Structure 1
Amino acid sequence: MENPVTPVEAASPVTRWLAWPRVLWLALGAAALMSLTVFQVGLFGDDFIYLGILSERVPPAPLANHAFDLYRFIPGDPAITMPLVEKGIFPWWTQPDLKLAFWRPLSSATMVLDQALFGENPAAFHVHSILWYLALVGVFALLMRRTLAGAVGAVALLLFAIDDSHAVPVGWWCNRNAVVATLPALVGLWLHMEWREHGRRWAAPLSVLAYALGLAGGETALGVLAYVLAYELLGAKGPWRQRLWSVAPATVLALGYLALYKKLGYGSFGSDLYVDPLSQPVAWLAVAAVRIPAMLWGLLLSVSTELTIQSEGGDGFVIGVGLFAAALVGGMLRAVWPYLSADERRHSRWLLAGAFLSLLPVASTIQGDRLLLVPSVGGAAIISLVLTHVWRNRARSTGWRVLTGAAGLLAVTHVLMAPVGWYTVNSALARMTGSVERVYAQLKHDLDVAALPGQRVAVLTLPNPNLSLYTSIAWWARGNVLPRAWWTLSYATEMPTLTRTGPNSLELALKRDRYFETLYERVHRGARFMLKQGDEVKLDGMTAKVMEVDARGIKRVAYTFDVPLEDPSLVLLQWKDRGLRRVVLPPLGTPVVLDYGALPTPGSASAVSSPP
């Protein structure tokens, strides 16, 4: 390549078109247009938990969470957890001291407001979420105007506004917490720069207040504090002593927040979906080594991070694609580096470091595009630097033309595919919403609702995480009376072999797969706590016993009930033909394969789990 020259931003028509404030209105319009795709989504997943609590439904057992503490799902107290296992709200294999508890009072308050104003109206909830998102785009615009003025900042703003990794936080009611946490924290980052770059001392205390408000929205705000640290280390001017003092307020706030978070009993334990870095540092390092590279794939290349979950290549492949993404974008950034202005270099250093550091807090849960909201703050800026400067230098030499081709691929994934991503993700959520509604309507038709309070429902197979986790919860949230118990015995996707072993007992066995092999079966009991051969779980009316285990896992489980299988107080269901149907019991000792007929509608893997 030729020797670098100092870039001069030509006053081209494109540059004039991207000038402030026109580009802000373009970005807000683009964000609003993308957000229209969320209106196809109804209530989904954990939304039903919140709906039931906010609608003051009588709980099946004492719950840990309440209206302003909605995200304290499971508190780590067996006295609260096990009654919910008895009722079947949590699966029978749940770890008794399982903890999935997150402190998000501000996010909870926004949902309380929704229910108070709109009742059960998902469209109104979506409008509320979109307003939060448009405000976030506006604050990001202020940040770009402060750091990367001109075409680079304008392109970064547009990339951020249409980023399809933002689709789930905007479209999924309970995942709004990511936007609620990020917005005030990003205001804090902007105020921090007003203080440090322009000497506006009044902005310093306001920035700390904004960070605190963000942390009240959720742990996601910790990622924004990573940008504050990166800025003082790599972007701020002045002596080191001054820079360390400047980062001290945010650091003290973060440490105080984490200490209070643990003291109040929040965090996670016992699950493979969430791994708490504070209580399980070694386990967290092991999963973060895979999850962070996986998210680099989505952040830098704008290719669905969920593909790394579905990959058959294992952890090595996932790490490899992440390193490839980092090497590709890093190599392109290095090529354009000599052509960046001094300010562009200064700000790109801390924005890039902040993007990587902000992946650390979200690595506590399984990788997914919905976790990239805060990392995309720096990611959009870096991709914009690469695209803009490669385009400006495209005619210099053959090497630059090759770089232009690579930049063109990035433009396709980040720009042209963004609307497709928004539509595809929200369509997947809509399909999963529809599957719950369909099964709900079918059960209302097929079950004797009046007799349910005296019955136990045992679902032998339900091979869909969304349905298996939330069917009974959606039934309760909609105001229906739950049966005495609603047990789902298996989430396995393989059609199991059913054998009746006695008047009141049966076994379910797998040939190809193993029970609790998938991540979503291990939400409630992690692999290191897994049941062993001969272990029993005794509930009121049913005992589950692990009968056969090999090197891969559990192959066969026996279930013994306190009444004969034909007793009218026991309702046996299975997944078949896209619904829950009555089980036709085979003769004693005769094994039969439970034919599913049709598998549940597939959807986004990341959208099945509870939001981090």
Structure 2
Amino acid sequence: MTSARDREHRRGSKKESRAMAAEPLGLPGAREDGGERPSLAASPEPRSARVSRALVRFGVVGVLLLTTLLYLPSLRGGYMADDWFHLVALSQLKEIFTDELNLFTLVNSGDQVVAFKHFGLMPWWTSEEMRIAFYRPIPSILYWAEHRLFGPSPAVAHLIGIGWYVFSVYLVSRVLARFFPERSAMHVLAVLIFALDDAHALNIAWIANRNETIGGSLVLLSLLAWLRYREGRGRYHAPLVALAYVGALLSKESALVLPVFVVAHALVFPAREGEPLPAQPAPPGAPPASSTMPSLWSRLRPHLGLILTLGAISVAFIGLYFGFGHGANSVYYINPLRNPELWAEHFFRSGFYHAVILATGVPLHVLSSTPVHDYPLAALALGAVTLGFWLLAYRWLRSDRPLRFFLLTMLAGQAIVTTSFPDPRNLFLPSIGFAYVVTRVVEEALRRAHAAVPGAPRSAPEARQIRGVRAVLGTMVALHLVLAPVLCQVCVYVVNSFEGRYQTLKESLQAEVDYARLPPDGMQVFFLNWHQREMTAVYGLYLREVLPTGVDDYTPWTENPRLSYVDKLYQGLGAERIHYYSLSFVHGDVEATVIGDRTIELQPKQGHFFPTLFEQLYTTDDAFQVGQTFDTGRFKATIVETGEDGTVKRVRFTFPEPLTSPRYRFLVYDGTRFVRAQLAAPAHASR
């Protein structure tokens, strides 16, 4: 099939007005091996970018193989963070899964928060209004089946995660094929840019976050069914759009953007290739050609039934989702219904971070919680690259109709992900459109370079233009084909290194606690600081799995149908003879001052308490006040001093037993391991 762009080039200027009046959809009909760009593309594709159909297929297969190889190092990684909660739910507290076929509800009531704080599974500063209660039954069922078939095997889990990602890359190739000319090398490049995008790395390396890839794959299946329906491939594709959409919603909440994708496509591409546009009456005195330009309503009307169906599914899902108590609420996971002011405050902030992540691959916010303030030069440079890229894309591609479609999908994705913290994990769907935009910029740069006559004399402006084009090509290659896969490996390495950090924690405790002789009335371990904030989430569940708890059989509580979930927590966890509590997540030195035989005060030597999103995960943006007290049932924490900006500077901890009690262990990280903190008056440094 000849591409729409090539046909337009052959028509010439005599038929330009007719082509503008009957602009095609940009779809390749029934072809599966390539797509077609709309007629408004700036110019014909360079011949060097046209390859055989078999070579395009070989290129896509090559990308899938490269993607697999890129992430094979993650097989060496283990479990981290939420993975341990899923393991406990599948092996001990099975009703977490069986009640709703869902593993993604960590806490959905104030009673659960109180219980988790009592046993150290959440820190003392956790707000009782904090919620993490997502509803994702499809990935949950898949995790359960995997656990039943293979047991707790992180290597198998990582391999399955790689498989899901490779499958999603294949679906992206099928979607993008409809927006590039048939037999286009640019199609392969777009798929490669998506596959190498480091924003996806944590979705593959972190087992518990596989739901992002599963949900994204189902969104792609729904979108692909819609595109085939628009191509006239059969009416059965219309119900497939709705069915896949339901599956996507039951995998990840961000799938709510799918109806926006459908509406955007219907608006931007109002007719299928070779069909006339929906006509509307021309205004009196208007040129005849304007009678073929459709209104927004006439573009949506042919698909109104399907669009309304998707809308009804969305409304029903949102109503049932929140009606049954699902959803999150914290500074980390912002709920726009519970905290609209905080959501609005973070909308543009996270939008800036997400734009930088897509354009440069650099997750700027991981440098600090306030990177623009702390690293102004880096933020300025990355922001300038991001702004420059989009200005260039607008200048070169403003007539590119698929760009308008993908821009709408990216904006829709941004509106969803700002309900959470700025994070590359949530950019799976927006990165599809971004891969298209990057590829089109590269293609346009190649076209401009191809247009230059080798050896011909050039004026100074022409020479500058050629240098600029080469700079664009070099930057795109460096960022998306060199830096991106390197950052993917960095992410995999960091996740794999959690095994070593967990091992440090485990070995330190084994050296400081005699697990063979735990006191009959129990022991409590208190951490004054931490060596890695990222591993603070549910670290207590990890310790329960790898170190003795004093309980060999939990079934009398976990399988007792007369006990509620909270009662099982109190009786099952209460029977354990050791529990762990973080007095801070401070990453560095803390000053510990003994106030009395049962009281100490902690103060970071640099900075303050709760400086990062890892601490704020447990808060709901309520300001801390001097004199405010948190009672966990095992100790009390009282805010003693705050800064002018409201940051917490000093906290007093009061314990029911003397600090010298044999049931207590106070540990501090000394730079290499956790060691016993020497608590004695007068005030002294803990390290």
Fold conserved between structures, TM > 0.5 = yes
Following the alignment from structure 2 to structure 1, what is the Cα–Cα distance between the partners of residues 71 and 144?
22
Partner of 1:446: 512
Q: Does the Cα contact within 8 Å between 1:533 and 1:547 map onto a contact in 2?
A: yes
Higher Rg of the two aligned structures: 2
State yes or no: 1:457 paired with 2:491: no
State yes or no: 1:514 paired with 2:608: yes
Shift of 1:15: 3.1
Partner of 1:81: 113
Following the alignment from structure 1 to structure 2, what is the Cα–Cα distance between the partners of residues 303 and 122?
28
Partner of 1:352: 407
Following the alignment from structure 2 to structure 1, what is the Cα–Cα distance between the partners of residues 174 and 615?
43
Question: What secondary structure, in the 3-state scheme, does the structure 1 residue paired with 2:586 have?
Answer: coil
| RMSD across aligned positions (CA) | 2.7
Following the alignment from structure 2 to structure 1, what is the Cα–Cα distance between the partners of residues 210 and 443?
32
Q: Does the Cα contact within 8 Å between 1:165 and 1:373 map onto a contact in 2?
A: yes
Shift of 1:310: 5.8
Q: Does the Cα contact within 8 Å between 1:498 and 1:507 map onto a contact in 2?
A: yes
Partner of 1:599: none
Partner of 1:197: 231
Question: What secondary structure, in the 3-state scheme, does the structure 2 residue paired with 1:393 have?
Answer: helix
State yes or no: 1:300 paired with 2:392: no
Partner of 2:83: 47
Following the alignment from structure 1 to structure 2, what is the Cα–Cα distance between the partners of residues 282 and 151?
46
Partner of 2:71: 35
Following the alignment from structure 1 to structure 2, what is the Cα–Cα distance between the partners of residues 5 and 374?
24
State yes or no: 1:594 paired with 2:662: no
- Classify 1:82/1:117 alpha carbon distance in 2 versus 1 (closer, same or farther; 3 Å): same
Shift of 1:281: 2.2
Residue 364 of structure 1, aligned match among 415, 419, 427: 419
Question: What secondary structure, in the 3-state scheme, does the structure 1 residue paired with 2:641 have?
Answer: strand
Following the alignment from structure 1 to structure 2, what is the Cα–Cα distance between the partners of residues 257 and 416?
41
Residues 400-449 of structure 1 show CA distances to partners (whole Å, capped at 9, x for unaligned) of 44133123201111012222111111111112232012212332343122
Partner of 1:600: none
**How many aligned positions are there?**
580
Gaps of 5+ in 2: 1-12, 14-39, 272-277, 279-293, 453-461, 550-575
Partner of 2:448: 393
Following the alignment from structure 2 to structure 1, what is the Cα–Cα distance between the partners of residues 440 and 643?
53
Following the alignment from structure 2 to structure 1, what is the Cα–Cα distance between the partners of residues 262 and 228?
12
Q: Does the Cα contact within 8 Å between 2:529 and 2:588 map onto a contact in 1?
A: no
Shift of 1:11: 4.2
Residue 492 of structure 1, aligned match among 586, 589, 609: 586
Deviates more, 1:461-470 or 1:200-209: 461-470
Q: Does the Cα contact within 8 Å between 1:162 and 1:419 map onto a contact in 2?
A: yes
State yes or no: 1:26 paired with 2:62: yes
- Classify 1:500/1:264 alpha carbon distance in 2 versus 1 (closer, same or farther; 3 Å): same
Residue 405 of structure 1, aligned match among 452, 463, 471: 471
Partner of 1:610: none
State yes or no: 1:475 paired with 2:543: yes
Deviates more, 1:277-286 or 1:243-252: 243-252
Counterpart of 2:632, as a letter, is L
Residues 498-547 of structure 1 show CA distances to partners (whole Å, capped at 9, x for unaligned) of 11111111111235422223222111113x32331111112323111112
Following the alignment from structure 2 to structure 1, what is the Cα–Cα distance between the partners of residues 581 and 150?
33
Shift of 1:560: 1.2
State yes or no: 1:243 paired with 2:300: yes
Shift of 1:336: 3.0
Q: Does the Cα contact within 8 Å between 1:32 and 1:130 map onto a contact in 2?
A: yes
Deviates more, 1:197-206 or 1:126-135: 197-206
Following the alignment from structure 1 to structure 2, what is the Cα–Cα distance between the partners of residues 500 and 123?
46
TM-score, L = length of structure 2: 0.79
Following the alignment from structure 2 to structure 1, what is the Cα–Cα distance between the partners of residues 381 and 425?
19
Counterpart of 1:430, as a letter, is N
Following the alignment from structure 1 to structure 2, what is the Cα–Cα distance between the partners of residues 255 and 297?
32
Residue 537 of structure 1, aligned match among 624, 630, 643: 630
Counterpart of 2:240, as a letter, is L
Partner of 2:5: none
Partner of 1:70: 103
Counterpart of 2:685, as a letter, is V
Q: Does the Cα contact within 8 Å between 2:257 and 2:412 map onto a contact in 1?
A: yes
Shift of 1:282: 2.3
Partner of 1:608: none
Following the alignment from structure 2 to structure 1, what is the Cα–Cα distance between the partners of residues 539 and 663?
20
State yes or no: 1:563 paired with 2:657: yes
Question: What secondary structure, in the 3-state scheme, does the structure 2 residue paired with 1:20 have?
Answer: helix
Following the alignment from structure 1 to structure 2, what is the Cα–Cα distance between the partners of residues 586 and 83?
31
The residue correspondences of 1:571-610 to structure 2 (distance < 5 A) are 571-587=665-681, 590-595=682-687
Residue 373 of structure 1, aligned match among 428, 431, 435: 428
Following the alignment from structure 2 to structure 1, what is the Cα–Cα distance between the partners of residues 430 and 581?
39
Deviates more, 1:329-338 or 1:309-318: 309-318
Identical aligned residues as a percent: 22
Partner of 1:169: 203
Residue 262 of structure 1, aligned match among 296, 311, 322: 322
Residue 226 of structure 1, aligned match among 260, 266, 270: 260
Shift of 1:375: 0.8
Following the alignment from structure 2 to structure 1, what is the Cα–Cα distance between the partners of residues 128 and 394?
51
- Classify 1:389/1:254 alpha carbon distance in 2 versus 1 (closer, same or farther; 3 Å): same
Counterpart of 1:243, as a letter, is L
Following the alignment from structure 1 to structure 2, what is the Cα–Cα distance between the partners of residues 467 and 540?
24
State yes or no: 1:554 paired with 2:648: yes
Shift of 1:356: 2.3
Shift of 1:188: 0.4
Q: Does the Cα contact within 8 Å between 2:530 and 2:668 map onto a contact in 1?
A: yes
